Copies of this chain bind each other. A is one copy, B any other.
Amino acid sequence: MDRKERSEDEIPVPPWRRSRRSAPPRRQLSQDLIVETGLRVLDSEGFDALSMRRVAQALDTGPASLYAHVAGKEELLELIYERVLGEIRLPERDPARWKEQLRGYALELHGMFRKHPDVARAALASIPMGPSSLRAAEFTYGLLVEAGMPPQEASLAIDRLSLYLVGDAYEGALHVARMRAAGMRDQAEYFESFVAQIVSYYRSLPMEQFPHLANHVDDLTAADGEDRFHYGLALLLDGIEARMPKS
């Protein structure tokens, strides 16, 4: 079951033994291997390219083989999300610095989504409750409760913050997908052409019908995704702070 892959210092099997005939007698699949492969496909080819067949192909087998280790595509996506969620680092909880730590958590998650953009599409398509999700929930929720926020309100606040983080990442992933579909490789190049497109479109709008949009085209396209993310994050954190008792 847990036969190791051939490590480099192992003596290779002589090619004349069991060569030709039954070359790969049995592949050894595992859930971890499948999840890892799925994540690799997701990162390199995007969400739309992630299919059971594609994963199986990368493992040099057929799609049916995966179903012994994974219930289906939905579970695979959840497992991939759990997998990357496990990567994020959480500090020791310090309720006195709840705002700073909550922002730190948000930035950590945001950074993860920048490394694995299409995971956001997997994340929003499911309701994950694996160990990594629980770990994150315990951290964030506990932070607010220990800082003195009423438990019910802390639940609401964390729920909203989580929705924002995933939602923002999802939006980013959509742009990555569009970039990929347009055959571009460089993110900056894509962003530039996208903005240019919007600018020219907004400029062509009838001034009397859309005065504000037409007049402030440059203001509307000034901020990039990162700016937008930080603004929304600050909005939420400040709102939470304003509701924190006896701050």
Which residues of A come within 8 Å of B, CB atoms? 124-125, 127, 129, 134, 137-138, 141-142, 145-146, 151-157, 159-160, 163-164, 166-168, 170-171, 174, 178, 198, 201, 205, 209-213, 216, 219-220, 222-223, 227-228, 231-232, 234-236, 238-240, 242-243
Q: Which residue of B lies closest to A127 (CB)?
A: B174
Among candidates B142, B151, B231, residue contacting A160 with C-beta atoms closer than 8 Å? B231
Given contacts A142-B211, A142-B212, A219-B151, A156 and B227 within 8 Å (CB-CB): yes
Q: A127-B178, A153-B231 are in contact. List 6 more A-B contacts (CB 8 A).
A: A134-B213, A141-B212, A155-B220, A164-B232, A235-B239, A235-B243
Identical copies of this chain, number:
2
Q: Roughly how many angstroms separate A210 CA and B153 CA in the complex, as a whole number?
A: 19
A134, A210, A239 — most chain B CB neighbours (10 Å)? A239
Given contacts A213-B137, A236-B235, A171 and B160 within 8 Å (CB-CB): no
Q: Which residue of B lies closest to A140 (CB)?
A: B212
A171, A198, A212, A240 — most chain B CB neighbours (10 Å)? A212
Q: Roughly how many angstroms separate A225 CA and B243 CA in the complex, as a whole number?
A: 20
